[in-house]
Amino acid sequence: MRIHRRREEDEGLPMTPLIDVVFQLLLFFLTATSFHRIEKDIKVDPPKASEGRSTQHPEREITVNVRSEADGGFLVINEKILTLEQVTRRLFQGVKDNPNLVVIIRGDKHAYHQRVVDVLNACKKANVKHYFIATAFETHKE
C-alpha cells in the first residue's frame, strides 16, 4: 500500500538571507554617509545672550573660533590653528567660491575683544556680506 504524504505548503522566500542583505546595506550606507556637523571648538565658551535668534545653517559657512588668551588666543577653523593673515586668505577664497558665504565668529567670553574685532575686519576686507557673532542662549530666571 502506498502512503500518501501531505504536501507541505509552499514556504515562500527564505527570510534569513534577505534580512542579512538588508542589514549589510544599512551598515554600508551608515558608514559611507558623512553627517553634517557644526564646527565647535571645545576650548571656546561663547558669552551668554538673552536676546537674539538662532540662524539656519546654510550649505556654505565658515566658523572662526577665537580662543581665550589662557588657551593661546588662537584663531581656529576646522580644528586648525591659523594666523589672522591665513584666516583672511581663507575668507577671500570662500567669497570667491561662494559670494553668499556666511561667517560665524565664535569668540570665547574671556578672549580679548581685539581678536574678535580683527576677525570682523578680515570679514569686511574679504567682502563677506553675512557674518555673525555666536553666543550661547541664556534663559531668563524669574
Q: What letter represents residue 132's amino acid?
A: F
Q: Flag whether the pTM goes above 0.75.
A: no
With respect to residue 97, please indicate whether it lies within any of the assigned structural domains: yes
Q: 88: closest CA among 73, 77, 98, 79?
A: 77
Count how many domains the chain has: 1
Q: Check pLDDT > 90 for residue 125.
A: yes
Q: Which residue has the higher pLDDT, 54 or 92?
A: 92
Cell numbers of 140, please?
531668563
CATH code (residue 127): 3.30.420.270
**β partners of residue 136:** 48
- Percent helix, strand, coil in the chain (nearest 5)? 35, 20, 50
- Residue 91's domain comprises 48-137
Q: What would the grid cell of residue 68 be?
A: 581665550
- Report which listed range, 12-21, 52-61, 90-99, is most confident: 90-99
**Tens of pLDDT along 92-120?**
998 998 888 899 998 888 888 898 899 99
The whole-number average pLDDT for the span 56-68 is 75
